Structure 1
Amino acid sequence: MMQISDSSSNKHSLINVMHRFMAAANNMDETIMVPSLLRDLPLEEQAAAEVEPNNNNDCPLKQRDMYEHYLLLKSIKNDMEWGLLKKEMSTGTSFLEMAMKQEEEQQQQQAVNGDLLLEDNSDLEHQFHYHLRGLFGVLSKLTMQADNLTKRYKREIGGGNFIR
Protein backbone atom coordinates (compact mmCIF):
# COMPACT_ATOMS: atom_id res chain seq x y z
CA MET A 1 0.00 0.00 0.00
CA MET A 2 2.89 2.34 0.73
CA GLN A 3 4.12 2.02 -2.85
CA ILE A 4 0.92 3.54 -4.24
CA SER A 5 1.18 6.66 -2.10
CA ASP A 6 4.91 6.98 -2.88
CA SER A 7 4.31 6.76 -6.62
CA SER A 8 1.42 9.24 -6.53
CA SER A 9 3.62 11.83 -4.79
CA ASN A 10 6.05 11.74 -7.73
CA LYS A 11 4.86 14.38 -10.17
CA HIS A 12 6.13 12.31 -13.09
CA SER A 13 4.25 9.13 -12.18
CA LEU A 14 1.57 7.75 -14.45
CA ILE A 15 -0.92 7.87 -11.59
CA ASN A 16 -0.24 11.57 -11.06
CA VAL A 17 -0.63 12.35 -14.78
CA MET A 18 -3.91 10.44 -14.80
CA HIS A 19 -5.13 12.31 -11.70
CA ARG A 20 -4.26 15.66 -13.29
CA PHE A 21 -6.30 14.79 -16.39
CA MET A 22 -9.22 13.57 -14.30
CA ALA A 23 -9.10 16.75 -12.20
CA ALA A 24 -8.99 18.95 -15.31
CA ALA A 25 -11.87 17.01 -16.89
CA ASN A 26 -13.91 17.21 -13.67
CA ASN A 27 -13.23 20.96 -13.43
CA MET A 28 -14.29 21.33 -17.06
CA ASP A 29 -17.47 19.36 -16.39
CA GLU A 30 -18.31 21.39 -13.26
CA THR A 31 -17.59 24.73 -14.95
CA ILE A 32 -19.46 24.14 -18.19
CA MET A 33 -23.06 24.33 -17.04
CA VAL A 34 -24.55 24.80 -20.52
CA PRO A 35 -22.51 22.73 -22.96
CA SER A 36 -24.76 23.72 -25.88
CA LEU A 37 -23.18 27.20 -25.72
CA LEU A 38 -20.06 25.54 -27.14
CA ARG A 39 -21.82 24.59 -30.39
CA ASP A 40 -20.42 26.20 -33.53
CA LEU A 41 -17.50 27.76 -31.63
CA PRO A 42 -14.29 26.74 -33.42
CA LEU A 43 -11.35 25.46 -31.43
CA GLU A 44 -8.62 28.06 -30.97
CA GLU A 45 -6.15 26.18 -33.16
CA GLN A 46 -8.76 26.09 -35.95
CA ALA A 47 -9.40 29.81 -35.58
CA ALA A 48 -5.64 30.45 -35.85
CA ALA A 49 -5.44 28.19 -38.92
CA GLU A 50 -8.23 30.17 -40.59
CA VAL A 51 -6.26 33.39 -40.08
CA GLU A 52 -3.14 31.81 -41.63
CA PRO A 53 -4.34 30.09 -44.81
CA ASN A 54 -2.55 26.85 -45.59
CA ASN A 55 -1.76 26.23 -49.25
CA ASN A 56 -1.20 22.53 -48.60
CA ASN A 57 -4.71 21.10 -49.13
CA ASP A 58 -3.60 17.46 -49.28
CA CYS A 59 -5.48 16.38 -46.16
CA PRO A 60 -8.17 18.73 -44.87
CA LEU A 61 -8.85 18.23 -41.18
CA LYS A 62 -12.37 17.57 -39.98
CA GLN A 63 -13.69 20.78 -38.49
CA ARG A 64 -14.63 20.16 -34.88
CA ASP A 65 -16.41 22.68 -32.70
CA MET A 66 -15.86 23.13 -28.98
CA TYR A 67 -18.98 21.12 -28.16
CA GLU A 68 -17.68 18.03 -29.96
CA HIS A 69 -14.33 18.49 -28.25
CA TYR A 70 -16.08 18.73 -24.88
CA LEU A 71 -17.93 15.47 -25.57
CA LEU A 72 -14.70 13.79 -26.66
CA LEU A 73 -12.91 14.79 -23.45
CA LYS A 74 -15.87 13.59 -21.34
CA SER A 75 -15.89 10.28 -23.21
CA ILE A 76 -12.17 9.75 -22.64
CA LYS A 77 -12.61 10.59 -18.95
CA ASN A 78 -15.45 8.04 -18.68
CA ASP A 79 -13.33 5.40 -20.43
CA MET A 80 -10.54 6.03 -17.93
CA GLU A 81 -12.93 5.87 -14.97
CA TRP A 82 -14.90 2.84 -16.02
CA GLY A 83 -12.53 1.14 -18.45
CA LEU A 84 -13.31 -0.31 -21.82
CA LEU A 85 -15.12 -3.19 -20.16
CA LYS A 86 -18.17 -0.97 -19.61
CA LYS A 87 -18.65 -0.54 -23.37
CA GLU A 88 -18.21 -4.25 -23.97
CA MET A 89 -20.57 -5.12 -21.12
CA SER A 90 -23.32 -2.98 -22.66
CA THR A 91 -23.46 -5.48 -25.53
CA GLY A 92 -24.87 -8.07 -23.12
CA THR A 93 -21.82 -10.31 -23.19
CA SER A 94 -20.75 -11.57 -19.78
CA PHE A 95 -17.21 -11.04 -18.50
CA LEU A 96 -16.57 -14.78 -18.57
CA GLU A 97 -17.72 -15.05 -22.20
CA MET A 98 -15.47 -12.14 -23.19
CA ALA A 99 -12.48 -13.67 -21.38
CA MET A 100 -13.06 -17.06 -23.02
CA LYS A 101 -13.41 -15.45 -26.44
CA GLN A 102 -10.20 -13.48 -25.94
CA GLU A 103 -8.33 -16.60 -24.83
CA GLU A 104 -9.56 -18.52 -27.90
CA GLU A 105 -8.41 -15.69 -30.18
CA GLN A 106 -4.98 -15.70 -28.51
CA GLN A 107 -4.66 -19.46 -28.95
CA GLN A 108 -5.58 -19.16 -32.63
CA GLN A 109 -3.04 -16.39 -33.06
CA GLN A 110 -0.36 -18.50 -31.36
CA ALA A 111 -1.08 -21.38 -33.69
CA VAL A 112 -0.83 -19.11 -36.74
CA ASN A 113 2.14 -17.00 -35.66
CA GLY A 114 4.15 -19.56 -33.65
CA ASP A 115 7.67 -18.13 -33.67
CA LEU A 116 6.50 -14.52 -34.06
CA LEU A 117 4.96 -14.62 -30.57
CA LEU A 118 8.33 -15.46 -28.99
CA GLU A 119 9.85 -12.43 -30.72
CA ASP A 120 7.00 -10.20 -29.55
CA ASN A 121 7.43 -11.23 -25.91
CA SER A 122 11.21 -10.80 -25.96
CA ASP A 123 10.93 -7.03 -26.22
CA LEU A 124 8.11 -6.34 -23.78
CA GLU A 125 10.11 -3.79 -21.81
CA HIS A 126 10.72 -1.72 -24.95
CA GLN A 127 7.04 -1.94 -25.90
CA PHE A 128 6.02 -0.95 -22.38
CA HIS A 129 8.25 2.14 -22.35
CA TYR A 130 7.15 3.13 -25.85
CA HIS A 131 3.47 3.00 -24.90
CA LEU A 132 4.09 4.62 -21.51
CA ARG A 133 5.77 7.61 -23.20
CA GLY A 134 2.84 7.82 -25.59
CA LEU A 135 0.34 7.65 -22.75
CA PHE A 136 2.16 10.41 -20.85
CA GLY A 137 2.14 12.59 -23.96
CA VAL A 138 -1.53 12.00 -24.74
CA LEU A 139 -2.69 12.54 -21.15
CA SER A 140 -0.65 15.75 -20.89
CA LYS A 141 -2.20 17.08 -24.11
CA LEU A 142 -5.71 16.09 -23.01
CA THR A 143 -5.18 17.84 -19.68
CA MET A 144 -4.11 21.03 -21.45
CA GLN A 145 -7.08 20.78 -23.81
CA ALA A 146 -9.54 20.36 -20.94
CA ASP A 147 -8.00 23.36 -19.15
CA ASN A 148 -8.09 25.43 -22.34
CA LEU A 149 -11.70 24.48 -23.05
CA THR A 150 -12.67 25.52 -19.52
CA LYS A 151 -10.87 28.87 -19.84
CA ARG A 152 -12.39 29.50 -23.27
CA TYR A 153 -15.89 28.74 -21.97
CA LYS A 154 -15.38 31.24 -19.15
CA ARG A 155 -14.16 33.83 -21.67
CA GLU A 156 -17.08 33.21 -24.03
CA ILE A 157 -19.74 33.62 -21.35
CA GLY A 158 -17.90 36.63 -19.94
CA GLY A 159 -17.58 35.36 -16.42
CA GLY A 160 -13.94 34.40 -16.15
CA ASN A 161 -13.43 36.12 -12.78
CA PHE A 162 -16.40 34.95 -10.76
CA ILE A 163 -16.74 31.39 -12.05
CA ARG A 164 -14.48 28.81 -10.49
Structure 2
Amino acid sequence: MMMQLPETPTQKNNLFNAMNRFIGAVNNMDQTIMVPSLLRDVPLDEDKASLPLRSYEDEGDVYSYYQLLKSIRRDIEWGVRCAAADERRKESMKISRKNSSASTSSASSSSSEEEYEEDEDLEKQFQYHLTGLQGVLSKLTQQANCVTKRYKQEIGIGGWGQ
Protein backbone atom coordinates (compact mmCIF):
# COMPACT_ATOMS: atom_id res chain seq x y z
CA MET A 1 0.00 0.00 0.00
CA MET A 2 1.36 3.41 -0.96
CA MET A 3 1.55 6.16 1.66
CA GLN A 4 -0.40 9.24 0.66
CA LEU A 5 0.69 12.72 1.57
CA PRO A 6 -1.93 15.28 2.60
CA GLU A 7 -3.33 17.18 -0.36
CA THR A 8 -3.15 20.93 -0.61
CA PRO A 9 -6.36 22.70 -1.73
CA THR A 10 -4.89 23.10 -5.23
CA GLN A 11 -3.97 19.43 -5.47
CA LYS A 12 -7.41 18.38 -4.25
CA ASN A 13 -8.85 19.76 -7.49
CA ASN A 14 -6.20 18.03 -9.59
CA LEU A 15 -7.65 15.66 -12.21
CA PHE A 16 -5.06 12.99 -11.45
CA ASN A 17 -5.95 13.09 -7.76
CA ALA A 18 -9.65 12.84 -8.58
CA MET A 19 -8.96 9.79 -10.75
CA ASN A 20 -6.75 8.24 -8.07
CA ARG A 21 -9.43 8.78 -5.40
CA PHE A 22 -12.00 7.11 -7.63
CA ILE A 23 -9.72 4.20 -8.53
CA GLY A 24 -8.81 3.79 -4.85
CA ALA A 25 -12.48 3.75 -3.83
CA VAL A 26 -13.29 1.15 -6.50
CA ASN A 27 -10.26 -0.95 -5.50
CA ASN A 28 -11.44 -0.80 -1.87
CA MET A 29 -14.95 -1.74 -2.98
CA ASP A 30 -13.57 -4.62 -5.05
CA GLN A 31 -11.42 -5.89 -2.16
CA THR A 32 -14.26 -5.59 0.37
CA ILE A 33 -16.95 -7.23 -1.73
CA MET A 34 -15.99 -10.89 -1.63
CA VAL A 35 -19.34 -12.19 -2.90
CA PRO A 36 -20.69 -9.64 -5.41
CA SER A 37 -23.73 -11.78 -6.18
CA LEU A 38 -25.09 -10.86 -2.72
CA LEU A 39 -25.75 -7.42 -4.20
CA ARG A 40 -28.09 -8.85 -6.86
CA ASP A 41 -31.67 -7.79 -6.36
CA VAL A 42 -30.68 -5.34 -3.60
CA PRO A 43 -32.79 -2.38 -4.71
CA LEU A 44 -31.36 1.07 -5.13
CA ASP A 45 -34.59 2.62 -3.85
CA GLU A 46 -33.66 1.98 -0.20
CA ASP A 47 -30.57 4.14 -0.54
CA LYS A 48 -31.55 6.94 -2.95
CA ALA A 49 -29.52 9.55 -1.09
CA SER A 50 -26.37 7.44 -1.20
CA LEU A 51 -26.65 6.39 -4.83
CA PRO A 52 -27.81 9.57 -6.57
CA LEU A 53 -26.34 8.86 -10.01
CA ARG A 54 -28.79 6.15 -10.84
CA SER A 55 -30.14 6.41 -14.37
CA TYR A 56 -33.84 7.04 -14.60
CA GLU A 57 -34.06 4.56 -17.47
CA ASP A 58 -32.13 1.85 -15.62
CA GLU A 59 -33.95 0.50 -12.60
CA GLY A 60 -31.03 -1.71 -11.64
CA ASP A 61 -29.79 -3.10 -8.39
CA VAL A 62 -26.67 -2.41 -6.33
CA TYR A 63 -24.91 -5.22 -8.20
CA SER A 64 -25.34 -3.36 -11.50
CA TYR A 65 -23.68 -0.31 -9.88
CA TYR A 66 -20.83 -2.50 -8.69
CA GLN A 67 -20.28 -3.72 -12.26
CA LEU A 68 -20.62 -0.21 -13.71
CA LEU A 69 -18.04 1.27 -11.33
CA LYS A 70 -15.57 -1.51 -12.12
CA SER A 71 -16.12 -0.92 -15.83
CA ILE A 72 -15.48 2.82 -15.48
CA ARG A 73 -12.30 2.09 -13.49
CA ARG A 74 -11.11 -0.22 -16.27
CA ASP A 75 -11.83 2.49 -18.89
CA ILE A 76 -9.81 5.03 -16.89
CA GLU A 77 -6.89 2.66 -16.36
CA TRP A 78 -6.77 1.17 -19.86
CA GLY A 79 -8.55 3.70 -22.02
CA VAL A 80 -11.75 3.39 -23.97
CA ARG A 81 -11.09 1.34 -27.07
CA CYS A 82 -13.56 1.49 -29.88
CA ALA A 83 -12.81 0.46 -33.46
CA ALA A 84 -15.21 3.04 -34.88
CA ALA A 85 -13.57 5.82 -32.87
CA ASP A 86 -10.14 4.73 -34.09
CA GLU A 87 -11.34 4.84 -37.70
CA ARG A 88 -12.86 8.31 -37.26
CA ARG A 89 -9.61 9.56 -35.70
CA LYS A 90 -7.52 8.15 -38.57
CA GLU A 91 -9.87 9.69 -41.15
CA SER A 92 -9.78 13.03 -39.31
CA MET A 93 -5.96 12.97 -39.30
CA LYS A 94 -5.92 12.31 -43.09
CA ILE A 95 -8.26 15.25 -43.73
CA SER A 96 -6.22 17.46 -41.39
CA ARG A 97 -2.99 16.62 -43.24
CA LYS A 98 -4.61 17.37 -46.62
CA ASN A 99 -5.92 20.70 -45.40
CA SER A 100 -2.63 21.76 -43.84
CA SER A 101 -0.61 20.87 -46.95
CA ALA A 102 -3.11 22.64 -49.21
CA SER A 103 -3.13 25.84 -47.18
CA THR A 104 -0.99 28.71 -48.34
CA SER A 105 1.55 30.58 -46.27
CA SER A 106 -0.14 33.94 -46.84
CA ALA A 107 -2.85 34.04 -44.18
CA SER A 108 -5.00 37.11 -43.81
CA SER A 109 -5.40 38.92 -40.50
CA SER A 110 -9.06 37.83 -40.34
CA SER A 111 -8.12 34.13 -40.43
CA SER A 112 -5.55 34.85 -37.73
CA GLU A 113 -8.28 36.37 -35.57
CA GLU A 114 -10.52 33.35 -36.25
CA GLU A 115 -7.75 31.00 -35.14
CA TYR A 116 -7.30 33.04 -31.94
CA GLU A 117 -11.04 32.84 -31.24
CA GLU A 118 -11.00 29.08 -31.90
CA ASP A 119 -8.06 28.68 -29.51
CA GLU A 120 -9.86 30.73 -26.86
CA ASP A 121 -12.99 28.65 -27.42
CA LEU A 122 -10.94 25.45 -27.05
CA GLU A 123 -9.60 26.70 -23.74
CA LYS A 124 -13.14 27.41 -22.50
CA GLN A 125 -14.30 24.00 -23.69
CA PHE A 126 -11.37 22.33 -21.97
CA GLN A 127 -12.07 24.13 -18.67
CA TYR A 128 -15.76 23.27 -18.90
CA HIS A 129 -15.13 19.57 -19.54
CA LEU A 130 -12.32 19.34 -16.99
CA THR A 131 -14.59 20.78 -14.30
CA GLY A 132 -17.36 18.40 -15.34
CA LEU A 133 -15.03 15.39 -15.33
CA GLN A 134 -13.75 16.23 -11.85
CA GLY A 135 -17.33 16.56 -10.61
CA VAL A 136 -18.35 13.23 -12.14
CA LEU A 137 -15.29 11.50 -10.69
CA SER A 138 -16.12 12.89 -7.26
CA LYS A 139 -19.69 11.56 -7.49
CA LEU A 140 -18.47 8.17 -8.76
CA THR A 141 -16.05 7.98 -5.82
CA GLN A 142 -18.96 8.61 -3.45
CA GLN A 143 -20.93 5.93 -5.25
CA ALA A 144 -18.16 3.35 -4.88
CA ASN A 145 -17.95 4.14 -1.17
CA CYS A 146 -21.74 3.77 -0.87
CA VAL A 147 -21.74 0.39 -2.65
CA THR A 148 -19.01 -0.78 -0.24
CA LYS A 149 -21.03 0.44 2.74
CA ARG A 150 -24.20 -1.16 1.39
CA TYR A 151 -22.42 -4.51 0.97
CA LYS A 152 -21.18 -4.35 4.56
CA GLN A 153 -24.76 -3.69 5.71
CA GLU A 154 -26.03 -6.63 3.65
CA ILE A 155 -23.56 -9.06 5.25
CA GLY A 156 -24.04 -7.62 8.72
CA ILE A 157 -20.83 -5.66 9.28
CA GLY A 158 -22.28 -2.19 8.68
CA GLY A 159 -20.55 -0.68 11.70
CA TRP A 160 -17.03 -1.79 10.77
CA GLY A 161 -14.48 0.46 9.11
CA GLN A 162 -16.81 3.27 8.16
TM-score by length of 2: 0.68
Counterpart residue type for residue 37 of structure 2: S
SS state at 2:126 partner:
helix
2:73 corresponding residue in structure 1 = 77
Runs of 4 or more, structure 1, over 4 Å off, are 105-110, 117-120, 161-164
The answer to whether the 8 A contact 1:25-1:146 is kept is: yes
Determine which structure has the larger helix proportion and give its number.
1
SS state at 1:123 partner:
helix
Counterpart residue type for residue 24 of structure 2: A
Counterpart residue type for residue 139 of structure 2: K
- Which is higher, the Rg of structure 1 or of structure 2? 2
SS state at 2:131 partner:
helix
Give the share of equivalent positions with the same residue, in percent.
49
Residue 159 (structure 1) aligned with residue 157 (structure 2): yes
1:11 corresponding residue in structure 2 = 12
2:93 corresponding residue in structure 1 = 103
CA displacement, residues 36-70 of structure 1 (integer Å, 9 cap, x when unaligned) = 11111112xx2366xxxxxxxxxx64211011111
Q: CA deviation at 1:121?
A: 3.8
CA distance in 1, matches of 2:160, 2:40: 23
The answer to whether the 8 A contact 1:154-1:163 is kept is: no
Counterpart residue type for residue 81 of structure 1: E
Counterpart residue type for residue 104 of structure 1: K
- Number of aligned residue pairs: give it: 135
Residues 48 and 139 from structure 1, CA distance in 2 versus in 1: closer, same or farther, beyond 3 angstroms? closer
RMSD of aligned residue pairs (Cα, Å): 3.4
Residues 106 and 76 from structure 1, CA distance in 2 versus in 1: closer, same or farther, beyond 3 angstroms? farther
1:124 corresponding residue in structure 2 = 122
CA distance in 2, matches of 1:157, 1:72: 21
Runs of at least 5 residues in structure 2 that lack an aligned partner in the other structure: 1-6, 49-55, 101-110
Residues 76 and 23 from structure 1, CA distance in 2 versus in 1: closer, same or farther, beyond 3 angstroms? same
Residue 28 (structure 1) aligned with residue 29 (structure 2): yes
